[in-house]
Amino acid sequence: MSSEDAPPDPYANPLVFGQRLQILRTRKGMTREQLGGFLGKSGSWVKGVETGRLKTPKLDMVLRVAELLRVRDLSELTGDQSVHVELFSGPGHPRLAAVKAAVDSFPLTTRHEAPPPAYLRARLARAWAVRHSAPNHREAIGALLPDLIPDAQLAVRQAETAPERRAAQVVLAEVYSLCQFFVAYQPDAALLWRVAERGLVAAQESEDPHVIGVAAWLAAQAHRDAGPAHFDAADAVNLEALTYLEPLLPDASDDVLAITGALTFEAGYTAARRGQTGTAWRYWDQARAMADRLPEEYYHPVTSFSRAIMGAHAVTVAVELHQGGESVRQAAAADAVTIPSRPRRARHRIEEARGYHLDGQPEAALATLSQAHEAAPETIRYNGYAKRIVFEEAESKSPARRRRASELAVKLGLLAA
């Protein structure tokens, strides 16, 4: 392709909004009809905006477009370099550099002895417990990972027998799983993929069905969150893992049953992102049946899969299908159940807020986002959906709503106090 034929770079030239929209949409592998459908508009409406026949939409629609195209900085879409709104990743957690250095390390010449496996497992269990219980969970696990990662790597290198090596790979795979929770929504996509891929490799080497399922669950999420062009890859990983696990279910442990249920729901989540209503709810029903086979108090330590989480999952499906009324009804049904994990509880509140926003209840959306902030400030701080609602309501015609949204924006670090 000659330079004359190459598509323009939206960051190199002062392109108008419509041109930037077309380029960014194309890069995400989304058709005009798909984007229009997600926005409640037609493909011809999208074409009109892209070609300049229709004027630039209002802020609420611009933010919805940015959300769907996974635009990290609003200036990439608007072209206004004075508007730097980092939607899906902040400037990066203060501990990101240390975690990245640990992931990138390659301890070939380390002389000291690896910690005993039981000690590593105890440290890992403590890290998961902290991840679920601390309001500043990223800070907490970000402090633990720089030492935990190289120690787990070293344990694999120093394992002397095949069983010892497989056991060490179990720990290493779970360390990478924990690490993926930290690097998600951080401004380093390459690091996220490196962690996800290493987790998959370690899981396969472990030959442990539960660990393999967890790694596949996280890899499917990474693919899906990369945008519509990666939905097929998300499904491929997810469904392959389900095919592997399903023959084991008659005699499965609670952990294997739970990760199978989590993967089943993830297939429904991706279907909802595609707008496939029947398929999404069918997978949710299957996942709920698996959850009902688990003990009432069981709670999966990685995915949060449990009986308690299925109501929250129903809210997510309805929200992704843009069913505002249904998401509010599901939120009301789920609200009586307490989710043990603070970050997962905050994530559920954010999903509820999205439902209220879709249903035209902005006051309820802001109140629910405040509850998310109380549960886990570091969850909402890096969540693009929450930021979109806050920024949109900060320009509301209602003075009280503007004030409430602005106060929340200050708490999230989006605006100076």
Q: Which two tokens stand for residue 123?
A: 């440290």
Q: Which residues contact 265 (CB under 8 A, 6 or more apart)?
A: 283, 284, 287, 305, 313
220 three-state secondary structure = helix
Q: Which two tokens stand for residue 139?
A: 């800070």
Collect the ranges in the chain with pLDDT lower than 50: 1-13, 416-417
86 three-state secondary structure = strand
Backbone angles phi, psi at 281, to 5 degrees: -75, -30
pLDDT at 1: 42
Q: Do the beta carbons of residue 168 and residue 117 sit within 8 Å?
A: yes
Of 225, 112, 131, 236, the residue nearest 174 (C-alpha) = 131
Q: Sketch the domain layout of the chain as residue ranges.
A: 17-78, 92-207, 227-307, 309-417
C-alpha–C-alpha distance, residues 112 and 116, integer Å? 12
Q: Which residues contact 312 (CB under 8 A, 6 or more apart)?
A: 334, 337, 339, 344, 347, 348, 351
Q: Which amino acid is at 338?
A: T
Q: Do the beta carbons of residue 166 and residue 208 sit within 8 Å?
A: yes
C-alpha–C-alpha distance, residues 44 and 337, integer Å? 43
Q: Is 401 exposed, middle or buried (0-12, 13-18, 19+ CB in 10 A)?
A: middle
User: Helix 189-206 crosses helix 96-104 at what angle (to 10 degrees)?
Assistant: 50
Q: Do the beta carbons of residue 89 and residue 72 sit within 8 Å?
A: yes
User: Helix 32-39 crosses helix 59-68 at what angle (to 10 degrees)?
Assistant: 120
C-alpha–C-alpha distance, residues 405 and 362, integer Å? 10
C-alpha–C-alpha distance, residues 264 and 268, integer Å? 7
C-alpha–C-alpha distance, residues 185 and 101, integer Å? 18
pLDDT at 83: 52
Per residue in 145-198, pLDDT (tens digit) is 999 999 999 999 999 999 999 999 999 999 999 999 999 888 888 999 999 999
The fold for domain 17-78 equals 434 Repressor (Amino-terminal Domain) (1.10.260)
Alpha helices in 275-415 (DSSP H): 277-292, 310-320, 324-334, 342-358, 362-375, 377-381, 384-393, 399-411
